Amino acid sequence: MLRHLLQRGLDLAIVLFGISVIVFMMIRLIPGDAVAIMLGANTEVTPERVAAMRSELGLDRPLIEQYLSWLGRALHGDFGTSIWTGRPVLQEITAQIWPTLQLTVLALVIGAGLAVPLGCLMAHWRGGRADLVLRIGAIAGLTIPSFWLGIVMLITVASLAPSFASLGYVPFSEDPLGNLQRLLLPAIALALPILANLSRLVRTAMLDALSQDYIRTARAKGLSETAVLYRHALRNALIPFVTSVGIMTGYLLGGAIVVEQVFSIPGLGRLILGAIAERNYPLVQATILIVTVGFVLVNALVDLAYALIDPRLRTA
């Protein structure tokens, strides 16, 4: 187990180093003069302004020195200042990251939470009408874009329940009920593809587990079908499920950007799109770095969760 943790820790360090290099090189690899592009959005480009901006961003120093300085400041939470507001970049991100995190977690809970029982039922009803209906629904869920589903739900709710608050965002600390009410529809729109994908994955993994010898042994001992299904087969079927949950967490952050625009949620989606439109590259750079590192750390936690699911890794 210790060897497994050390190996995963080394892999994580290498991946994080690679991410830092790629994110750092973003501004340097932009075709043309990145500083002139940034200044050209809202101000007149002059040699003096370009020189001042280069000095502010540290682009007038050697490349390695730039990277080491940027990395050192990033490790201390200093990602620079926003070009147009003058506020620290980290302050702008933390002000708008909570709606996105809450929406992502809620969609993951709905999608992954319902996928396990649905997948188990599909495996239990294999070949029956209920299994066929659920599989068709899962395929339909995979083909429906989240943003389109969100628009349809908005129109439907506005027609059937005009008083239902479905747009905007209210902090949970100010109005818990209003917060959950406004996040319910976007969370469902994000959760449907996850639910469809994971339920089919659980079904396949359960069918594979139910054909193993240890399942026949458990049934021969007289255990109930519920005990065989959930106590023995499900545990082994959860290994590919946990892997997919970790991967989909990153996709959820990307999908949330579009869904946030549909439901007028002031999260990272609006922040990133606004920063791109304003050519506010330090803000874009920091946001991409934080989201990417979060995705990698989630998958690292998934690796640790394997040890809880599969006891063989504890002695590996």
What is residue 212's DSSP assignment?
S
Please give the angle made by the CA atoms of 246, 251 and 253, to the nearest 5 degrees: 100
**Residue 239 in domain:** yes
> What pLDDT sits at residue 312?
59
Residue 85 placed within a domain:
no
Q: Do 69 and 135 fall into the same domain?
A: no
Residue 229 maps to a domain: yes
Shared domain for 67 and 138, answered yes or no, is no
Supply 142's token pair. 């995979």
Classify 31 in phi/psi space as left (phi over 0), alpha (psi -120 to 50) or beta: beta
| DSSP per-residue codes, 184-208 | HHHHHHHHHHHHHHHHHHHHHHHHH
Q: Comparing C-alpha atoms, which of 54, 57, 101 is closest to residue 79?
A: 57
Q: Assess whether 106 and 64 both reside in one domain.
A: no
Model confidence at 44, in pLDDT bands (50, 70, 90)? low
Token pair belonging to 179: 């917060």
Is 88 inside a domain boundary?
A: no
Q: Count how many domains the chain has.
A: 2
Q: Are residues 255 and 151 in the same domain?
A: yes
* Domain CATH code at residue 183: 1.10.3720.10
Spatial separation of the C-alpha atoms in residues 285 and 314, rounded to whole Å: 38
Quote the CA–CA distance of 236 and 205 in Å, as a whole number: 8
In a domain, residue 83? The reply is no
Distance CA 19, CA 14 (A): 9
Q: How far apart are alpha carbons 141 and 127 in whole angstroms?
A: 20
| Residue 267, amino acid | G
Q: Range of 131's domain?
A: 95-315
Q: Are residues 160 and 194 in the same domain?
A: yes
Which of 49-53, 104-108, 122-126, 222-226 is predicted with the least confidence, judged by mean pLDDT? 49-53
> What is the SS3 string spanning 118-178?
HHHHHHHCCCCHHHHHHHHHHHHHHHCCHHHHHHHHHHHHHHHCCCCCCCCCCCCCCCHHH
69 and 160 housed in the same domain: no
Of the CA atoms within 13 Å of residue 103, those in its CB half-sphere come to 36
Average pLDDT over residues 8-25: 83
pLDDT at residue 86, as a whole number: 76
Same domain, 99 and 181: yes
What is the band of 43 on the pLDDT scale with cuts at 50, 70, 90? low
Does residue 12 belong to any structural domain of this protein?
yes
Pick the last residue of a domain from 45, 75, 105.
75
Q: What value does the mean pLDDT take over residues 298-303?
A: 78
Q: State the pLDDT confidence band at 252, using cuts at 50, 70 and 90.
A: confident
What is the model's pLDDT at position 193? 85
Q: pTM of the prediction?
A: 0.78
Q: Would you say residue 99 lies in a domain?
A: yes
- In angstroms, the CA 240 to CA 247 distance is 11
The neighbour count for residue 253, using CB atoms within 10 Å, is: 21
Contact 281, 26 (CB under 8 A): yes
Phi and psi for 142 in degrees, rounded to 5? -70, -25
Instruction: Say if residue 218 is in the same domain as residue 285.
Output: yes
Residues in Cβ contact with 278 at an 8 Å cutoff, skipping those fewer than 6 apart: 41, 42, 83, 84
Mind giving me the DSSP string for 57-78?
Answer: HTTTS-HHHHHHHHHHHHHTT-
Backbone phi, psi, residue 154, to 5°: -60, -45
Q: Are residues 69 and 116 in the same domain?
A: no
Tell the burial category of 220 from Cβ atoms under 10 Å away from its Cβ (0-12, 13-18, 19+): exposed
Domain ends where: 75, 107, 128?
75
Mean pLDDT of 223-250: 78
Cβ(276)–Cβ(26) below 8 Å: no
**Residue 82 maps to a domain:** no
**Average pLDDT of the residues in 293-299:** 82
d(CA 153, CA 287): 29
State whether 38 and 115 are in the same domain: no
Read off the amino acid at residue 230.
Y
